[in-house]
Amino acid sequence: ATWNGNRYAVTTNSGTAALHMCVAACGCGAGDEVIVPAYSWSSSATCVLQHNAIPVFVDIDFDTMNIDVNKIEAAITPKTKAIIVVHLHGLMVEMAPVLTIARKHGLKVIEDACQAHGAEYMGHKAGTMGDCGAFSFNQNKNLCSGEGGMFVTDDAMLLKSAQSLWSFGETNTPSESRDYHVYAMGWMYRNNDLTAAFGRAQLSKLDGYLAHQIANAQHLTANLQDIPGLILPVEPDGFKHNWYNYVLRFDMASLGVDRQLALFRDQIVKALTAEGVPTMVWQKFILPAMTVFQAKNGYGGGCPWSCPMAEPVDYNLAQYPVAQEHCDTHTCLVMALRAPNGIEVMSLLAQGIRKVMTNLDQIR
């Protein structure tokens, strides 16, 4: 909490658990709708289902890969209770318009900062601008404790609600004796001492880790920016990227590819791998295309969508063209920018990427 600038923080056994605590703390429940970006990790949306509420997807902005803030307001209905913003790949969402919209409509703002440790928007760290937020500390994260997460907030009432969910529906804090009485629905989202201690030790090194990644990203960008057909990740003015993922997109139009985009992308990824560039397709499906949403099979019997308190929600995939284009044309370097890899490794990665991109005729 001190490092990030939050008043309260509760350690959890995963980032997914912390997200569920956010949804519960914000009072989302049966029939309520929560706005979510159409492209993210599945937990950004399934955490809404976990509390019997309904995700409503909004397309993304192609440049930032985050939720398109200009499309949020059109998705708001009388059932909307909260907005989940996902600071994807370590770049924060443009929070000022989101907060303005939320205040206008009386909505809570949940920050999914699971990939955004240390990222900033206009000098504010991820997890400090919404009503509450969630972090993840699993094996891939910039702050890694093997597994684990964190719920953060400045609101004492949200903290109390989240803590009830955190420990079996009990209301006792860790410093109080337990009466083993269940006051509300609860789960077991507590962390354990071993992973918490490991994470605390890693926290003392986090600023150094992030500085290392930023230097690597800057070097990689400088060595890739002149390659035709390659779209590099952006860092807009006023933002501080933590470079959790370094995402490449392929400009299929300039490459003369107008169909089966994902198939051609996969061929490029295969060639990059052969050159020693460890890239991967981070998500092969946009969220609303996943079976749980298309079949609406969350709890069986159509719940929560069939709840008598709910309104019909449409997951027509034509509503999310930007998310789909991004999904079909991207690959990313997930771990390559991490220590101990340095400038020498970044130069080798750039050489491999350049070699593939200048010889695409050999993989068509």
* DSSP-assigned states of every residue in 286-351: -GGGSHHHHTT-SSSTTTTTT-TT-------GGG-HHHHHHHHHEEEESSTTSTT--HHHHHHHHH
Q: Which domain-ending residue is among 163, 182, 203?
A: 203
SS (H, E, C) 336-360: CCCCCCCHHHHHHHHHHHHHHHCCH
pLDDT tens digit string along 87-141? 999 999 999 999 999 999 999 999 999 999 999 999 999 999 999 999 999 988 9
pLDDT tens digit string along 323-357? 999 999 999 998 899 999 999 999 999 999 999 99
Q: Can you spell out the DSSP letters for 78-119?
A: TTEEEEEEE-GGG----HHHHHHHHHHHT-EEEEE-TT-TT-
For residues 117 and 230, membership in a common domain is answered with no
For residues 115 and 235, membership in a common domain is answered with no
- Is the torsion defined by CA of 288, 63, 119, 34 positive or negative? negative
- Sorted by sequence, the CB contacts under 8 Å of residue 345 that are 6+ apart come out as 216, 336
* pLDDT value at residue 167: 84
Q: Which domain-ending residue is among 203, 221, 248?
A: 203
Q: What is the CATH number of the domain that holds 340?
A: 3.90.1150.10
For residues 197 and 274, membership in a common domain is answered with no
Grade residue 71 by pLDDT with cuts at 50, 70 and 90: very high
Region of poorest pLDDT, from 19-28, 69-78, 167-176, 347-356: 167-176
Grade residue 219 by pLDDT with cuts at 50, 70 and 90: very high
Mean per-residue pLDDT, 261-267: 97
Domain membership of residue 235 (yes or no) is: yes
For residues 148 and 65, membership in a common domain is answered with yes
Q: How many domains does the chain have?
A: 2
Active site residue 141: yes
Q: Which domain-ending residue is among 185, 203, 221?
A: 203
For residues 210 and 358, membership in a common domain is answered with yes
For residues 214 and 194, membership in a common domain is answered with no
Domain membership of residue 234 (yes or no) is: yes
For residues 170 and 128, membership in a common domain is answered with yes
Q: Give pTM, 2 decimals.
A: 0.95
pLDDT at 364 over 80: no
Q: What is the mean pLDDT of the chain?
A: 95
Q: At what angle do helices 261-274 and 343-357 cross, to 10 degrees?
A: 130
pLDDT tens digit string along 146-175? 899 999 999 999 999 999 888 887 876 666
* pLDDT value at residue 315: 98
* pLDDT value at residue 298: 87
* pLDDT value at residue 97: 99
For residues 138 and 227, membership in a common domain is answered with no
Percent of the chain past pLDDT 70, that is, above it, reads 99
CB atoms within 10 A of CB 313: 17
Q: Kindly name the residue from 81, 108, 125, 141 that is annotated as catalytic.
A: 141
Domain range for 142: 8-203
Which of residues 303 and 49 earns the better pLDDT score?
49
